[in-house]
Amino acid sequence: ETFVQAGASGQLKVVADFADYRQVGGIKVAFKVTLTNPAICIVTDVESVDFNEPLEDAFFEPRREL
């Protein structure tokens, strides 16, 4: 997938590559995502995916300033 992102020096073309698809609960999920633009390349490797896990309400509270 290719898209344009606003950068400090104007518009940047960003390419997103999705790879290492695995079945999780009957859904194919990309466990590797690579984002590349002229300034940087970011690789994300996913270790695990869980769907519909219960979350505590505190998870949605704003973070406190330190």
| One-character DSSP codes across 3-59 | EEEEETTEEEEEEEEEEEEEEETTEEEEEEEEEE-SS-EEEEE-----SS----GGG
Report yes or no: 12 and 5 within 8 Å, Cβ to Cβ.
yes
pLDDT tens by residue, 10-56: 888 899 999 999 999 999 999 999 999 888 899 999 999 999 999 99
pTM as predicted: 0.71
Residue 2 pLDDT class (50, 70, 90 cuts):
confident
Residue 30 dihedral angles phi and psi, to the nearest 5°: -80, 120
Question: How far, rounded to the nearest angstrom, does the alpha carbon of residue 39 sit from its chain's CA centroid?
Answer: 18
